[in-house]
Amino acid sequence: MLRDGRGWQFTLREVARRAGVSHAAPYKHFPDKAALLSELAARGYRHLQEDLIAALAPERRGSARARAIAVAKAYLDFGRGNPSLYELMFSSEIDKSCEASVREASSAVFALIVDILTRGQQAGEFKAVPVEGQAAALWSLLHGLTVLERGRRLPPSEGGLMPIDATIASLLQGLDA
Question: What does pLDDT average to in each consecutive run of 10 residues of the chain (177 residues)?
Answer: 66 72 73 82 96 89 87 93 91 72 93 94 92 94 88 62 73 78
Note the helical H segments in 5-57. Answer: 12-19, 33-56
CA–CA gap between residue 104 and residue 46 (Å, rounded): 10
Architecture of domain 2-175 in this structure: Orthogonal Bundle (1.10)
The predicted structure's pLDDT at residue 18: 73
CA–CA separation, 121 vs 124, rounded Å? Answer: 5
pTM over 0.75: yes
* CB neighbour class for 117 (10 Å; exposed up to 12, middle 13-18, buried from 19): buried
CA distance 55 to 67: 8
Contact between 97 and 108 under an 8 Å Cβ cutoff? The reply is no
